[in-house]
A and B are shown apart, each in its own frame.
Chain A
Amino acid sequence: MTSAEHTPERPDGATAPDAKDAPARRGRVRARRAAVMAVPATLAAAGLAILTAEGALGVQFAISGMPFTVTATELNGTGFAQFGGLDEMAEGSPNAGDTGGQVLVVTSVIKNATLSKLCQSVDLGGTNLIIRAGEGAQKVSASDLTTDSTELTGDAAFNNIEIGNDASTLNKAGPKGRGPKGVFSQQSDTVHIGNLRQTNYATTAGVFKLPGLKLGFSGSGC
């Protein structure tokens, strides 16, 4: 296969493998064999990264339990629901999230959302992982975006807002935007938030399309 296999004579001149030179013969990685797998695997990984960066592929995040910060210059969404939660979420709201403790959170559900200049940072202890996306013409988009926040600031505008519904009767953000019975909630047809800044805690999952994805480490967060 490679030159070493065709090497006619061994350095010590032995012809038959015997016990004496057994320690010299050992398993080895053959570069050409490894390349048979490495080349397609690298191509596939590059393809995944490109598809994700172009926004053709959704990526799932499950970094729950680590508080992380999300900022965006602009958020536009249709189908908005918001309700408070303590430790028990309604059955059948799979993405609403369960903080697993006595943490008071505000669950925001947006059926279809687009965000400009999204920045998400996670404090990994000493360093921050920063994900930036949607800084170009293409915006970040997400469906059934569910965030459990402890803090949310921004300049908000709502269309057709209903405040004070029972969380279990919400209907504008789909089945995922429904909370437990007897909990204060609000919903609206559309939502616009400028200069959004969220401190999220225990967000369970969200499928994002991230055009112009940039991922890196930094000393400071968003």
Chain B
Amino acid sequence: MSRGPREGVRPAFRQWRAGRPFWGGLLLTLGGVEVLLTLKASLDVILHVGMQGLAGYLLPVVMLLCGVLILFNPAQRLFYSVIGVLASLGTWLTSNLGGFFVGLLLGMVGSCLAFGWLPDQEPRVGRRQRRREARAAQAVTQRLEHKTGQTA
């Protein structure tokens, strides 16, 4: 995982991604876009229908904004992800069953990823390595216990 600094766009993008819940924000944004795309009612009609129709547009727009804000203001990600998940759930009622379920799913997964994201984590340890370390630690403690048991 530890690579030296390289020139180019991709490492820079990687660096940018590392500092924010990238997939969470992206999925939430895409979810909002998908729900909006399924709404084919013209604005004229929406204004005619009134509040109910407006909510159908409002919630996916809130989803989209939350997703974009998660990407560009990751410090506030908890608040945005909570609002995002609530808006996503709301689209089930207001916007064609949450953009025929797809947008709802994207929004929920995205919000959860953003909620669970933490900055500045240790490099990922492989499962095998973790198991090996655990086994080594267990062996050490067992040996210690054995030793203390003998001395007592």
Chain A residues within 8 Å of B, Cβ to Cβ: 3-5, 7, 10-12, 21, 23-38, 41-42, 44-45, 48-49, 52, 57-66, 89, 94-95, 97-98, 100, 129, 202, 204-205, 215
Contacts and interface: CB of A to CB of B under 8 A. Distances in A.
A68 to B, nearest CB: 10
Shortest Cβ-Cβ A-B pairs, 8 listed: A34-B116, A26-B18, A65-B40, A64-B41, A33-B116, A28-B121, A38-B112, A37-B115
Given A29-B24, A205-B53, A34 B112 contact: yes
Nearest to A14: B2
Given A3-B130, A97-B48, A100-B42, A59 B93 contact: yes
A109 to B, nearest CB: 14
A28 B117 contact: yes
**In which size bucket is the chain B interface?**
35 or more
B118 A33 contact: yes
B117 A215 contact: no
Given A23-B2, A24-B123, A215-B101, 15 more contacts: A4-B121, A23-B15, A25-B122, A28-B117, A29-B21, A33-B116, A34-B115, A41-B111, A45-B92, A45-B104, A59-B92, A59-B97, A60-B52, A63-B40, A65-B41
Contacts of B108: 38, 41-42, 45
Contact of B124 (A28, A41, A62, A89): A28
A23 B48 contact: no
B133 A7 contact: yes
A89 B48 CA distance: 10
A64 B92 CA distance: 17
Interface string B67-97: 0000000100000011001001100111111
Contact of B120 (A27, A59, A62, A215): A27
Contact of B49 (A5, A12, A37, A205): A205
Contacts of B111: 37, 41
A30 B120 contact: no
Contacts of A98: 42, 44-45, 48
Interface of B: 1-5, 15, 17-21, 23-24, 38-42, 44-46, 48-50, 52-53, 55-56, 74, 81-82, 85, 88-89, 92-97, 100-101, 104, 108, 111-113, 115-125, 130, 133
B118 A215 contact: no
B43 to A, nearest CB: 9
Contacts of A11: 123, 125
A80 to B, nearest CB: 21
Contacts of B5: 23
Give the residue among B39, B88, B97, B119 with the most A Cβ atoms within 10 A. Answer: B97
Nearest to B108: A41
A63 B116 contact: no
Contacts of B23: 29
A60 B46 CA distance: 13
Contacts of A94: 48-50
A94 B97 CA distance: 22
A23 B124 contact: no
Given A25-B123, A205-B49, A63 B41 contact: yes
Contact of B93 (A41, A57, A63, A204): A57
